[in-house]
Structure 1
Amino acid sequence: MSTIAWVAVVVFAGAYVLIATEKINRVAVALGGAAIMLALGATDAEHAFFSEDAGIDWNVIFLLLGMMLIVGVLKRTGLFEFVAIWSAKKARARPFPIMVILVVVTGVVSAALDNVTTVLLVAPVTLLVCDRLGVPPIPFLIAEVFASNIGGAGTLVGDPPNIIIASRSGLTFNEFLSVLAPFVLIVLVVLLALCRIMFRTAFRYDAERAAKVMALRERDAIRDPRLAVLSLSVLGAVLVAFTLHTVLGLEPSVVALLGGLLLLALSRVDANEVAREVEWPTLIFFAGLFVMVGALVATGVIDELAHAATGAVEGKLWPATLLLLWASAGLSAIVDNIPYVATMSPIVSELVDASGGNDHAQVLWWALAIGADLGGNATAVGASANVVVLGLAQRAGHRITFWGFTKYGLIVTAISVALAVPYLWLRFF
């Protein structure tokens, strides 16, 4: 690697250590790291602001912004309180069954929608449920993040890396569904068992609070019926447009932003108040992180790592599958999985062709998808949904530290990826 590439690695590693130790505010670290990368020439304005592969992913930024605007209006309707009371009553106000409901809903919805959209909708409900029952919300929020990243791995549209893989490999929606969905269901069941063990101290049952929750009427929570109907209509239209975005020719980010602005205009809610509820620090953190990761892409660091890993096992299909699976999980835990998959895809394509290009060789694509998708659960900055939930929790007064998330994420990721080893063996070998 060149000198500037090594400099980029040192800057990124230093920023990552500061984020992990939380000695300095993570937003300041991300922006500082991005500024250093630009100042040293590891990246430039053209790459940082305009490159699809090595710059800020504006689609992610504006998708988040649009959905945050919609959620900001939804909060004023009482719909989150309605769903919170409904789910608590269905679970007889017992904490673990409530977690099961929320985790399953998050996992299933994430298979059809963007992970970030799902957690933006589920997190406010979770905070309200936990507040009503007097239980700590952090375990519930962390479990939902895990479920969103796992559920998103199950379909072609559930996670952006899967879309990149499908485009390069020619794999269809049904092929993703038949190969990955059964595995995702297994992992979700295992996740629930892990949550029962990892968060066992959080499931305190308070009979008095439970009785109060069971006595509540869901309908009484709706404060503005007209706004609730309007908000649900716009949200429904946005979700439909998400699924049809290829037909409509509109990116999900454009759909979300149009939906957010339309809802603001029709609802006549004070736009300044809604704007104050947007997680601006989270959006800025993402921008800085994208610039730093983009510098690793622009200087060829990720490309070097990918070539070194795949070159070592070329022609050996099972060792290549294992290395690709675990390396993808490890790298996706510390860098955004979108540029990683974009870089790896042409290399995997060559390996698949060199292995015969048949159905048997397609296992390499599935190893890449599973590793990249599930690796995001390992650390607090491994996936977009993780960062968003940490920001929402902090705003609600429940700070989730880097290691407070990562100590559970490493366990879930290790077990999830380990489950993929026998699954891929039995399915393809």
Structure 2
Amino acid sequence: MIDDPRRQVPRTDTLLADPRLTDAGERLGRGLLKDVVQRVQQRVRDGEVAPPDAVDAVLAALPGTASSLQPVLNATGVLVHTNLGRAPLSPAAVAAVVAAAGTTDVELDLGTGRRGARGEGAIAALLAAVPAAEAALVVNNCAAALALVATALGQGPELVLARGELVEIGDGFRIPELLTATGARLREVGTTNRVTLADYRGALGPDTGAVLKVHPSNFVVRGFTRQVEVGELAAALAGTGVPLVADVGSGLLRPHPLLPDEPDLQSTLAAGADVVLASGDKLLGGPQAGLVLGRAEVVQRLRRHPMYRALRVDKTTLAALEATLRGPLPPVQEMLAADLDGLRARARALAGRLGAAGIDAVAADADARVGGGGAPEHPLPSAAVSLLPSFADPLRLGSPPVVGYVENDRTLLNLRSLPPSADDALAAAVLEVARRWT
């Protein structure tokens, strides 16, 4: 029939040939563009889009990049949010990633024309940031660093580990299962809540490959407890030839006044640990990486193990890590250092803008968190914009998505986890939701 709606659906080749879509095809690829075209054609068939508006609908539906990942405004108050990709990279790190994305001298000495040391710049930056370390290497994440230690030091010989440090690190991953999956043997000492120096000494023997200390990170045990600090354990191991490996988790380089109980790399090595392990994408503020720093002999032993080849990082990670360490303060550290009065002023200004548009918005005090398993007992004072609870879902489904949280029957948009430069985008997202849903 002449009025059959299927006859009105623009042809695929006609839409793909439209000059308004040429740039999108070159930027995103023909396959992705064709998928969007076909979805819009179905919307035309369903009567949702008028046939003359098909190209405009395609343009509106195209993603910003060829990746399905999209930028999100993190208004959760969790500075290092694992579900949101942990630490946002600094502009310096982003620029370094872009520069390294092409052909680079990652393993070439341009001066001699010979093979060079991989990631030499990033390693040098790490050693400059943590002077107590003699050597360093970088692997994919902190779990990979633990797996490398277990493989290189704990197969045949035993790894001595306190029972209270047999922790779960998130999403069901448990430290003892990770370690034993490599073939390592664990020698558990102490009890869940108490371990003494005598427990460690009693476990040492000819089969001991290393003593491992793991910072619990995401929980605290209180009451009748006892743990052995790195310093006293290092003194007890002196002269035994048994290395002390400490997983400090969050990647804090030095002590921080807001996080008095959070271990840092420099202090842990200075206290006597032979090797420290940490994440690069938490409080350090860099890319996902596992940092291994410490005594040269032990680090070299790990680097020469065949497993290291499977766990090493790529050129973009090395570039981002070096730029994070050498460049300006990364976003996570700026968030940590944010002034409470400044956060409150931002909340009042945003609430005023939204209130002027007829939206029920007020400024409110709130707590923020480090996240990523760091400093679980140290809330960070913050400020938020408080909205009706009905805003939470449409904000998360908007463009860009805004992820806040509902507390006491209000949607809170916590500002400590957002830079001031995001305030205009945050206000625009709330205004758009109000326009569409109210």
Higher strand fraction (1 or 2): 2
Normalized per residue, the structure richer in helix is: 1
Q: Same fold (TM over 0.5)?
A: no
Rg comparison, structure with higher value: 2
TM-score category, normalised to shorter length: under 0.3
Q: Pick 1 or 2: higher relative contact order, CA cutoff 8 A, min separation 6.
A: 1
TM-score (norm 2): 0.21
